[in-house]
Amino acid sequence: MKKLPTTRYFRKPDGRIILRYRWRTNRVQQSTQLCIDAKYWDEKAQRPVRGARQPELLRARHVLDELAKICDDIFIEFGYGNIEPAEFKEELQQRALSAGLLHSTGWVSSKQEAEAVSFMRWVDMYIELQRPKVKGQTMKKYGTFKGFLKDFTAHRGREISFEDLGKPLRNEIVRFFRNYKGGTQVSHCNKLLQQLRQFAAEAYPMHHDNNTFLSQKWAIANRMPKQRPVYLSPFEVHAISGLDLKGKEAEARDLFLVGLYTGQRISDYWRYRPEHFRNGCLDIHQVKGKGERVVVPLDIFPQVTPILERYNWASPWLANDLSSTAAILNRAIKEICKKAGIDEAVTRYIQISDLPPAPETAEKWNYIGSHTARRSFATILYNRGYTLAEIMPMTGHEKESTLMKYIGTTKEENARRVQAKALREQGDSPMRKAE
């Protein structure tokens, strides 16, 4: 077998990586569209340094290896070098383009030409190259991302350039997200930011970006400023229990009430079985945390007993697994609370990343979920006069400060609670009895 020529790469002072393939008196030389910093380039191996795990460097190594294979394949297929350099170059470009190693504008020979391609144009080209390789669901995500970019570009009034990619652009996107399509969830915002990083990471090896962008943290956090938690009052609980519901809706209502009357998380109250009830108490080891054992007397909310008896002392069944049960319950309980007339206007403050808190006002039923049951249990008992030390063994909390985050007592409710306690103490005091 004849010996194959060696594909060589050399790095220019501005960082561009050039491919050189020589056989006999012929030579082909072309840009690889890669730009690599000197500290990440191994001159001896003619590849990015080993051990570097940055996605753009791994991608660069892959591109160089694939281009070398393409050169060898062309050399062999054309009778071990019986081909003109110009024809060899054209064949190399076509195969590299088909393999997704290049973008559709062809080979870029300078940084100025590369930067002439806008980021939006780069996204279009990359998606077209990926279309034959990815599934329909991925293409759907790409389409959503393109739609967002177009909306964002229209909002800011100018195209996104590769020089824009950085923390200031990220903050601009986060501010835009606050009012995007009537308010967008933080999780959706993070998915689109992750998509933006992916396209930028793909563009970087092709001389379109700078490495500082890729090293920055882009995910945003949904920080909740200190505010009173949403809970249901005894009157609202009574309104829910009094609704005439049937089928799955009734089962969802009953499951929620079982959680509210026993004070546990959805991960616990969806799995109650007859063996969890003994001596008039719920006796169960919690799933989350340290698996704390909790004992809750059923007499504190006697309304739970008829519900449990109706389901043979087991939790009402909504689905076979916890995640599906929680999803069904969270959707259903909002509609149930809406039917019960729990429509008081509630203002919540949401803080996205380092931006100032933004008020969000909606009817109360919008904020009700599976965990509202646990908060309502703690708040109702606290307003009745139970101490934190008495509630903590039933909820499984280890610290009073953690439990207090669950309690949504208003100042008026707290005043009435203190007043009732003072009257009880006065009634029990020797001085009061003497009077």
In Å, what is the CA distance from 268 to each residue of 122, 221, 292, 330?
A: 49, 28, 11, 15
**Quick one: pLDDT at residue 106?**
40
Residues near 282 by Cβ (< 8 Å), separated by ≥ 6? 262, 264, 272, 276, 294, 295, 296, 298
In Å, what is the CA distance from 209 to each residue of 239, 304, 321, 358, 376?
A: 59, 61, 45, 33, 52
Residue 288 has pLDDT above 80, yes or no: yes
pLDDT category of residue 224 using cuts at 50, 70 and 90? low
- The candidate with the shortest Cα–Cα distance to 265, out of 373, 398, 382, is 373
pLDDT category of residue 104 using cuts at 50, 70 and 90? very low
| Burial readout 328-355 (b: 16 or more C-beta within 10 A, e: otherwise) | bbbebbbebbebbebeeebebebebbee
pLDDT category of residue 170 using cuts at 50, 70 and 90? confident
For residue 27, the cross-strand partners are 22
**Quick one: pLDDT at residue 433?**
42
Q: Write the pLDDT tens digit of every residue in 235-283.
A: 999 999 999 999 999 999 999 999 999 999 999 999 999 999 999 999 9
Q: What is the pTM of this model?
A: 0.55
Q: Domain-by-domain residue ranges, the chain?
A: 7-107, 117-220, 234-424
For residue 345, the cross-strand partners are 363
**With pLDDT > 70 as the criterion, what percentage of the chain qualifies?**
82
Between CA 369 and CA 371 the distance in angstroms is 5
pLDDT category of residue 428 using cuts at 50, 70 and 90? low
Residue 111 has pLDDT above 50, yes or no: no
CATH of 117-220, one of 1.10.3470, 1.10.150, 1.20.1640, 3.30.1490: 1.10.150
**Mean pLDDT calculated for residue range 227-241:** 90
Q: Which amino acid is at 388?
A: L
**Quick one: pLDDT at residue 190?**
78
Residue 99 has pLDDT above 50, yes or no: yes
Q: Write the pLDDT tens digit of every residue in 66-90.
A: 999 999 999 999 989 899 999 999 9
Place of tokens 């790469």: 9
**CATH of region 234-424:** 1.10.443.10
Q: Write the pLDDT tens digit of every residue in 190-220.
A: 788 888 877 776 665 444 444 445 455 666 6
Judged by DSSP in three states, 133 sits in coil
- β-strands 41-42, 47-48 pairing: antiparallel
pLDDT category of residue 108 using cuts at 50, 70 and 90? very low
Q: Write the pLDDT tens digit of every residue in 405-425.
A: 888 776 777 777 777 777 777
**Quick one: pLDDT at residue 192?**
80
Q: Write the pLDDT tens digit of every residue in 297-349.
A: 999 999 999 999 999 999 999 988 998 999 999 999 999 999 999 999 988 77
**Quick one: pLDDT at residue 253?**
96
In Å, what is the CA distance from 70 to each residue of 73, 88, 334, 393?
A: 5, 11, 59, 69
